[in-house]
Structures are given as C-alpha cells and as structure tokens.
Amino acid sequence: MSDIHTATYRRLTRLYPKSFRDEYRSDLIAVFEQQIDDDGSVRSWLRAIRDLMITVPSLHLEARMNRPPVNLVAAIAFAVAIAATIGAIFTGGSVYALILVLIAFVAVCIAVLAWRASRPAVLFESTRSWKGFLASGIALLAMIILIVNLPPMEDGDYADGVWYVMFFAVVLSIMLIAGGILLGVAKRSTPKRSSKFPLPAEGNP
C-alpha cells in the first residue's frame, strides 16, 4: 500500500524544476515515506499536497530567476562586429574597409561592456580588465596593420581623411595597450584575497 503512495508522490515530484528534482528527488521521496510511516497516509498526503501547491510555483520562479540572462545588447553588438569584419575583409584596402573595421571594434567594445554589465558586481574591479584592454589594443593595431597592407580597390593612395581615421585608430590602440599594462601592474601590486566570500568556519557550532 505504501508503494502506491510513494509511486504517486514520485510522479508528482516531476512537477518540480529539473535542477531541483535532480538534486533532491530521492530525499523528497525518502522524507515522504517516513512521514507516511509516522503520521499515516491521510495526514501525510494533506501536508504533501499543500506543500506541492506552494513550492512548485515558487521553485519554478526561483529557477527561472537564477537562470543567466540572455544579454540582447551584447548579442546584437557581437553580430554587428562579425558582419562588419566580414564586410571589411571583402572591401579590403578601401575607405569603407577602414570604417567597417572601426565599426567592428566599437561593436566588440559594446558587446564586452554589455556582457560584463550583466555579470555580478564583483567582476567589475577595474584591475581585472587589464587583459581585455591589452587584447583589444593589440587586436585593433593588428587590424590596422592588416588593412594598410591589403591592396587598395581603387588606384592610387588613400585620401587624407582615411589617414586621419587611421591615425586616430593607432592612437586609440596605443592608449588601450598602455591602459592594459598600467592596470596589469596595478593588479600585481594589489594583495590577493583568499576568496570572494567569507569561508564557513569548520566544526561549528
């Protein structure tokens, strides 16, 4: 008889979110079985049904809220960056290529910032982003070198305006590399913490 109760409750536990079920299903069933033994089936079922009615929606809500959010801004910016990079490759060596490279760079920056904004505040410490600054500076510089070395689509040299943009991009990349180095040095000189959270004391209470 007890098996019928257990089998029914086991089926009902499927209503819980998967993550919760995977972790606690056997414990839920074990507690329910013990309750049946101690309190009898009627009292146990009354308690279990009330419990299911309250906890199933709340645990689903909790599971949904804990799910990492899809960052739409980061996704769009990243897609723009890819499209602009592909465009720059196909228009190689022209003014348009340079503009597309800059668009791609700005889009990558926006994507990184938007992605980081959706992460916990502890990751916002500026010294942690030194690698990002360094990498983006190097990437921008590499793209400029690549564009400059591609054969121009039209005959002749680049227009003056292109060189100004190019100069601005080079200065920006140097600033990013310098910023990365400075932040890296600052990080090295900051004492390390053992953990993000205080560790629980052992042998307590």
Q: Which residues bind other proteins (CB under 8 A)?
A: 16, 20, 23-24, 27-32, 34-35, 47-48, 50-52, 54-56, 58-59, 62, 197-198, 200-201, 204-205
The least distance separating other proteins from the CB of residue 61, rounded to whole angstroms, comes to: 11
Structural tokens at position 36: 């049946």
Q: Is 199 helix (H, G, I), strand (E, B) or coil?
A: coil
Q: Which is nearer to other proteins, 55 or 127 (CB)?
A: 55
The least distance separating other proteins from the CB of residue 128, rounded to whole angstroms, comes to: 23
The least distance separating other proteins from the CB of residue 56, rounded to whole angstroms, comes to: 7
Q: Which is nearer to other proteins, 47 or 188 (CB)?
A: 47
Q: What is the DSSP code string of 149-162?
A: HSPPSSSSPPPHHH
Secondary structure of 109-149 in the HEC alphabet?
HHHHHHHHHCCCHHHHCHHHHHHHHHHHHHHHHHHHHHHHH
Q: Which is nearer to other proteins, 37 or 154 (CB)?
A: 37
The least distance separating other proteins from the CB of residue 50, rounded to whole angstroms, comes to: 7
Q: Which is nearer to other proteins, 62 or 71 (CB)?
A: 62
Sign of CA dihedral 7, 11, 12, 16: positive
The least distance separating other proteins from the CB of residue 193, rounded to whole angstroms, comes to: 16
Q: Which is nearer to other proteins, 20 or 158 (CB)?
A: 20
Q: Which is nearer to other proteins, 47 or 131 (CB)?
A: 47
Question: From CA 154, how far away is CA 177, in angstroms rounded?
Answer: 33
Question: From CA 10, how far away is CA 4, in angstroms rounded?
Answer: 10
- CB contact set of 12 (below 8 Å; sequence gap of 6+): 48, 52
Question: From CA 192, how far away is CA 109, in angstroms rounded?
Answer: 28
Question: From CA 80, how far away is CA 102, in angstroms rounded?
Answer: 11
